Amino acid sequence: MSQITLDKNNEKTIFGFWIYIMTDCILFASLFATFMVLRSNSNGGAEGDELFSLPFILTETLILLTSSFVCGLAMLSAHKGDRKMVSIWLTITALLGLAFLGMELHEFSNLYNEGNSWKESAFLSSFFTLVGTHGLHISVGLIWIIFMIKSIWLKGVTRSNLQRLTMLSIFWHFLDIVWIFIFTIVYMIGVVG
């Protein structure tokens, strides 16, 4: 199989996508700053050490990090022009992403059912906003992955599909980086102190 590469016009588009990622960095930075300011404002209610289960969140984290690794394997297969392996790796990435999202929704549901909704305190409001925004991004990534699987299956690994896959990969890895910060700042610091 021949190696597929991007041309200069594709590189400009990807550079533009990096600019979009930087705007998302600003969004998440503002949500992290808000959370840090409000994290001790529990209104006399439950705080992170009472609410969060580190083993559950660690499992969730490992699932998302594994999905990022598998997404990287999809990119390696794409550069080789291997339509079948790209589709397989993207499907596994999507399944892992779906498992992660399911765990996040399970956590939200449990918190809500135990009376710890976003309405109870500034801490919970900032928590649900930050983690929920990340979950929304994961949902968008999953939809994107589904469309990419279909496009790869129908058209193969074209330069256009490689460009889209490259941007998807950047987006997915970015979400992993954001999650590592969420895991550290929200959950670990929330449980430890």
Tens-level pLDDT at each residue, the chain (193 residues) = 556 665 666 678 888 899 999 999 999 999 999 999 998 888 888 888 889 989 999 999 999 999 999 999 999 999 999 999 999 999 999 999 999 999 999 999 999 999 998 898 999 999 999 999 999 999 999 999 999 999 999 999 998 999 999 999 999 999 999 999 999 999 988 777 6
Give a yes or no: residue 36 inside a domain: no
- The token duo for 100 is 């992660």
CATH number at residue 66: 1.20.120.80
Looking at the domain assignment, is residue 124 inside a domain? yes
Does residue 168 form part of some domain? Answer: yes
Asked if the structure places residue 174 within a domain, the reply is yes
pTM: 0.90
Which residue in 136, 137, 134, 111 sits closest to 51, CA to CA? 111
CB burial of 95-111 (b: ≥16 within 10 Å; e: otherwise) equals ebbbbbbebbeebbeeb
Domain presence at residue 141: yes
User: Rounded to whole angstroms, what are the CA distances from 157 to 15, 88, 116, 125, 173?
Assistant: 21, 13, 47, 43, 21
Predicted confidence at residue 88, as pLDDT, reads 98
Question: What pLDDT sits at residue 9?
Answer: 66
For residue 143, being part of any structural domain is answered with yes
How many domains are contained in the chain? 1
Q: What is the pLDDT of residue 187?
A: 93
Domain range for 109 is 55-192
How far apart CA 89 and CA 107 sit, in angstroms, is 27
User: How large is the C-alpha radius of gyration of the chain?
Assistant: 19
| pLDDT value of position 15 | 87
d(CA 123, CA 147): 36
Q: Residue 25: inside a domain, yes or no?
A: no
